[in-house]
Each structure stands twice: as C-alpha cells, then as structure tokens.
C-alpha cells in the first residue's frame, strides 16, 4: 500500500513540535542583544566624545541618526517579515546589528559610530518578528513568551549600561566591545529558531514606504531635537510640517492601494488603537522620564537643594535595579492577564506608574523614599511593556502580525520621544543659573502621573473583538 503525503495542514501542525524551551530560550538570547544594544552606548558617548574628538553637536547628530533609523526600520522590517518570512528577516536584522556593533568596536571613529548606530537600529525588528514566529509556532506560550522576551530586553538594557559604564572608566573604546559577544550569541540563536507562518509573497509597495519613512523621519526629528533647535525654529517647524505632509500623502496612497504597506483599518481597529494608546501614554510617562531621573540622582542636595549626589556607576546601578523590577513584573504578566483579565491588567500598569510619580511628589527627600518610588515605576514599566506587546496582535489576522507589533513599537517610540521633549521643556522652563529647580520635578512628576492615569483609563476601554459585538 502506497503512502500518501499528509495534507498541507497536517504538515504545518507537525512542524510545530519545536521544543518550547529551545524556542523561548533562543528568542530570549536574541532579545538580550536588543537590550544590550539599546543600553550600552549612552553611558559611553561622553567619554567617546573626548577620545574621538566628537563635539556635542556630533553626539547630537549620532542620537538623531539612531532615532531616524528606528522610525524607518520598524515598518520596513515588519512588512518584510509578514511578506517574505519572519525567520529570514530576523536573521537579516541580527546580521545588521552584528555588523554595526563590530564596525564600531573594531574601527571606532565618528563615521563608523554614525554608520553603526543606523545598523544597530535594526533591533526594532526583533520583537515584531519574534512575536510573529511565536504566534505561529507556540500560540499556547504566546503571552508568557512575550513576558519572557520583555524581561530579557529590560534586564539587558540595565546590564549593558552597567558593563559599558564600568569599562568606560578605563577606556571608552573598550566599552564598545560590550555588544559583540551578545551579537555572536544572537547569531547562533537565530540559526536555532524555526520558521514562522508561510510568507504572503505580496509586493512591497516602495512608494508607500518612502512616504511613510519621510513622514516618520520628519516628525521624529522635530520631536527629538526640537528642544535643542528651538520649538519655533525654522528647522523644527519645517521638519514637523514636512513629516506631517508626507504622512498625509502616505495615507492617500495607502487608501487606494490594492496591497497596502499598512492596512489602514488596523490603525483604527479598536483593540489595536486602544493598546497603542496605552503604550504611547505609559512610554511617555516612563521612558520620557528616565533622562530627568538620572539628573535628579546625580544632583547634589547641597548645591541644587534636591537629589542624591550619585556618581555615574551608582546611577547605572539604580537603572539596573529598575529593570530588575521590570523583569519580575513582565514575567508575571501572563498570569495577571489570566487572573485579572486584559482590561484590569492594562489599567493596573498605568495605576502603578501613576502611584510611583505621586509617591515622588510626596516623598523624595531621602534615598529610601526615592528608590522605593523607582522600584514601583519599574514594576509598572515591565507590566505595560509585556501586556501591550502580547495584546497588540491578538485581534488581527496572522499575516499582519509583525506589522501590528511594529505599530505598537512605533507608539512606544513616539510616546518616549514626546515624553522626553515635554520633560525637557519643563526642565528648561525652570532653569536658573544654579541649575534646574525642584519646581521642575514637581511639574514633570505631576504631568507624568496624569498621562499614566489617561493610559490606565484607556486600558479599561479595551475589548476583544468578540466582546464588542
């Protein structure tokens, strides 16, 4: 009796039996590279500027390049993953980050660091592409798996900053090698990962991508550098206006396209829109505040009237501790989603973050008071990062998984950028010859608490599609 080939559906099911530990462990190793890459360079820039003769303006241009690259890589890698395969473009992303990291470490200069940060920005593709693989290969572990990925990411950000900050005290060039061993691990992990859903094979709409990239780039440039350019300067206004015009043109092109880059219906789909709104608000309140947090920790009570007078290494350790608390909350998110439900879990993160800022308003004079609030902030930070990334893809077709996750990543990036801009504007408005006053922190803690409450309220509005019928 001749054996017949199993149906295609049965073949797909048979292919899913990759051990969960191998799958999740490999994914976590990839996200370690993402976290280290995002955390290790910032502590190095001041010492690199001195060693490589990079001016403050040059360091600002490097920061802008990285932000622009984040905005461009996100929709491109997400769409390529949905179209041609998640594993393929995950490996491409890992290769880009590896080349960028090695280039910066082996031949450090202003040029190689500028090119390197653009290549390293491909880490924004890791999370959407990994979620695409996870959703297809191990749907039963999707929520817990996303929690693990977020935990690995946040912990690695803190570890990368501590290691590079410590090494930079001896040699800034030596600190540039921090990402290289993690890149090697990620390359090996990428080879172990199975493929995701079958690629759709749709055509990549280049005109739509060019308009979206120009639009996002213009808006991100204005938000990132508006404070240093001047919010009413020609560069800021021109960049913002040009970006918004390009985005309007992109929407017009997408509305008529047979195969759009982004399904515009997905942007206004209630579950996706609400999760993205929560992400935006809570990224505004947390990531937008991190720079001001470092300033507070480093300020001397004798000179500024506030602060803890911590040095760079102590500040890095506080950031690491925050990320450790974020790791714990991200790993528990799948349990909270199951026991509390989606709405309450989303709202809980916003409430915890708001409580941390309200605590700072009331108690910030001693190290235990301040650090207790920062621990609370870490719990909310990890909770929303894991819950929003898990929920952003639950109500959309599998073929659009990476793009839906990419939209959530863009919401996070824009929330962080606008939050940092608002925080910077508040601090500039309360700047004296002696430095920033405590009134600046009173205002920014209040604003961050208020935006976190808005995020919590949006979380309570979340409904799965079947619930809204």
In a 3-state reduction of DSSP, which class is residue 131?
helix
Name residue 432's beta-bridge partners: 435
Residue 6 has pLDDT above 60, yes or no: no
Q: Which stretch, 52-66, 268-282, 292-306, has highest mean pLDDT?
A: 268-282
Conformational region of residue 425, where left means phi above 0, alpha means psi within -120 to 50, and beta covers everything else? alpha
Q: Tell me the angle at which helices 20-40 and 126-137 cross, rounded to the nearest 10 degrees.
A: 170
CB 377 within 8 A of CB 452: no
Q: Please tell me the predicted confidence (pLDDT) of residue 466.
A: 53
What are the residues whose beta carbons fall under 8 Å from the beta carbon of 343, sequence distance 6 or more? 459, 460, 461, 462, 463
- The stretch 366-380 carries a mean pLDDT of 93
pLDDT of residue 14: 38
- In three-state secondary structure terms, 432 is strand
Residue 147: pLDDT band (50, 70, 90) is very high
Q: Do β-strands 431-432 and 435-436 pair in parallel, antiparallel, or remain unpaired?
A: antiparallel
Q: What's the pLDDT tens digit per position in 278-293?
A: 999 999 999 888 878 8
- Is the predicted pLDDT of residue 18 greater than 70, yes or no? no
Q: Is residue 337 scored above 50 in pLDDT?
A: yes
């Amino acid at each position: 009796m001749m054996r017949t080939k199993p149906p295609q559906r049965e073949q797909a099911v048979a292919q899913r039996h990759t051990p969960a530990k191998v799958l999740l462990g490999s994914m976590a190793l990839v996200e370690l590279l993402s976290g280290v890459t995002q955390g290790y360079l910032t502590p190095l820039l001041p010492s690199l500027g001195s060693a490589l003769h990079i001016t403050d303006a040059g360091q600002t241009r490097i920061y802008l390049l990285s932000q622009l690259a984040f905005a461009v890589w996100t929709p491109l890698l997400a769409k390529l993953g949905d179209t041609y395969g998640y594993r393929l473009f995950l490996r491409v992303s890992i290769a880009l980050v590896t080349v960028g990291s090695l280039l910066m470490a082996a031949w450090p200069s202003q040029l190689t660091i500028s090119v390197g940060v653009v290549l390293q920005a491909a880490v924004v593709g890791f999370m959407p592409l990994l979620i695409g693989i996870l959703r297809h290969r191990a749907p039963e572990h999707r929520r817990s798996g996303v929690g693990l990925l977020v935990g690995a990411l946040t912990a690695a950000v803190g570890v990368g900053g501590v290691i590079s900050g410590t090494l930079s005290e001896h040699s800034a060039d030596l600190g540039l090698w921090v990402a290289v061993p993690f890149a090697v691990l990620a390359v090996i992990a990428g080879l172990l990962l199975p493929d995701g859903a079958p690629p759709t094979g749709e055509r990549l709409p280049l005109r739509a991508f060019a308009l979206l990239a120009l639009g996002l780039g213009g808006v991100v440039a204005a938000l990132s550098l508006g404070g240093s350019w001047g919010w009413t300067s020609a560069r800021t206004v021109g960049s913002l206006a040009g970006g918004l015009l390009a985005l309007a043109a992109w929407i017009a092109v997408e509305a008529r396209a047979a195969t759009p880059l982004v399904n515009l219906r997905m942007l206004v789909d209630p579950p996706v829109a609400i999760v993205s709104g929560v992400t935006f608000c809570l990224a505004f309140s947390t990531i937008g505040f991190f720079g001001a947090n470092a300033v507070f920790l480093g300020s001397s009570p004798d000179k500024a009237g506030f602060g803890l007078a911590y040095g760079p290494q102590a500040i890095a350790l506080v950031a690491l501790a925050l990320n450790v608390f974020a790791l714990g909350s991200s790993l528990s998110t799948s349990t909270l989603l199951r026991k509390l439900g989606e709405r309450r879990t989303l709202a809980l993160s916003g409430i915890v973050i708001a409580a941390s800022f309200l605590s700072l308003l009331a108690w910030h004079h001693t190290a235990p008071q301040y650090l207790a609030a920062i621990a609370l902030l870490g719990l909310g930070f990890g909770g929303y990062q894991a819950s929003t990334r898990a929920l952003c893809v639950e109500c959309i077709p599998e073929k659009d998984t990476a793009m839906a996750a990419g939209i959530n990543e863009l919401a996070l990036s824009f929330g962080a950028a606008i939050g940092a801009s608002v925080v910077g504007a508040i601090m500039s408005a309360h700047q004296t010859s002696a430095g920033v006053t405590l009134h600046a922190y009173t205002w920014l803690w209040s604003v961050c608490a208020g935006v976190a409450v808005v995020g919590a309220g949006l979380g309570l509005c979340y409904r799965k599609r079947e619930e809204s019928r």
